[in-house]
Amino acid sequence: MKHRQTMLFLLLSAGLAAPLTVKAQQGPGAGFGAGPGPGPGMGHHGHDHGGEGVPPFLRGIELTEAQQDKVFAATYAQEPLLHEQKKIAFKAHAQLRALAASAQYDDAQASALANTAAQATARISLEHARLEQQLLALLTPEQRTQLAARQARHEGGPGRQGQHPRPPAPV
């Protein structure tokens, strides 16, 4: 029974590590805040209007220059925290993998490492949710309507089977 719990624990930990591993393989600055040029993927002072560098849910939405500046500021304001949490999670997962492969496996230590990684991952998710809410607040009612319509069109589309639909943006 204890072996089964340990294996389940390790499998769940590995599942949580997978997105971080992919993120690490993408290299520094990867993610929705990254892109070429001076801004988060927005040419010189934001002339890309929703291409690379803006969060995926905002792509295709025409943003004013002031909105683009606010998106840039909000996205990059959270980068130090995200970077620190990613480092914590990565280190905890690496230590957990090493511990699992060692002859001196200790379940309490493994549990602590998994909890550390899970807490860091949870902080990252929370920061992403906070940013999304902050960015949604920047949108005009027309932009929110446009976003809600686009999200409604994409629900149930290819690659979304079995996923819960995203709630519409507040209007």
Q: What is the C-alpha to C-alpha distance for residues 12 and 86, in angstroms, rounded to an integer? A: 18
Does residue 117 surpass a pLDDT of 50? Answer: yes
Lowest-confidence region among 10-14, 37-41, 83-87, 144-148: 37-41
Q: How many CA atoms lie within 13 A of 49 on its CB side?
A: 5
Is residue 2 scored above 80 in pLDDT? Answer: no
What does the pLDDT average to over 86-99?
A: 97
CA angle 93, 97, 98 (to 5 degrees): 115
Q: Over 20-86, what HEC string results? A: HHHHHHHCCCCCCCCCCCCCCCCCCCCCCCCCCCCCHHHCCCCCCHHHHHHHHHHHHHCHHHHHHHH
Res 1: pLDDT: 54
Mean pLDDT of 153-162: 61
Model pLDDT, residue 155:
76
Structure tokens at 76: 């990059």
Tally of CA atoms within 13 A in the half-sphere of 28 that contains its CB: 4
With bands split at pLDDT 50, 70 and 90, how would you rate the model's confidence at 55?
confident
User: The tokens of 142 are what?
Assistant: 């027309």
In the predicted structure, residue 87 carries a pLDDT above the cut 60: yes
How wide is the angle at C-alpha 68 spanned by C-alphas 132 and 163, nearest 5°?
A: 30
Tokens found for residue 117: 């990684």
Percent of the chain with pLDDT over 70: 60
pTM: 0.59
Q: Is 123 exposed, middle or buried (0-12, 13-18, 19+ CB in 10 A)?
A: middle
Q: What pLDDT, on the 0 to 100 scale, is given for residue 5? A: 54
Q: How far apart are CA 46 and CA 126, in angstroms?
A: 26
On the question of pLDDT at 11 being above 80, the answer is: no
Using an 8 Å Cβ cutoff, are 86 and 23 in contact? Answer: yes
Q: Where are the domains of the chain?
A: 60-144
Angstrom distance (rounded) from CA 80 to CA 78: 6
pLDDT band at 34 (very low <50, low <70, confident <90, very high): very low
Residue 60 has pLDDT above 60, yes or no: yes
Give per-residue pLDDT as tens, 93-116: 999 999 999 999 999 999 999 999
Q: Quick one: what percent of the chain has pLDDT higher than 90?
A: 50
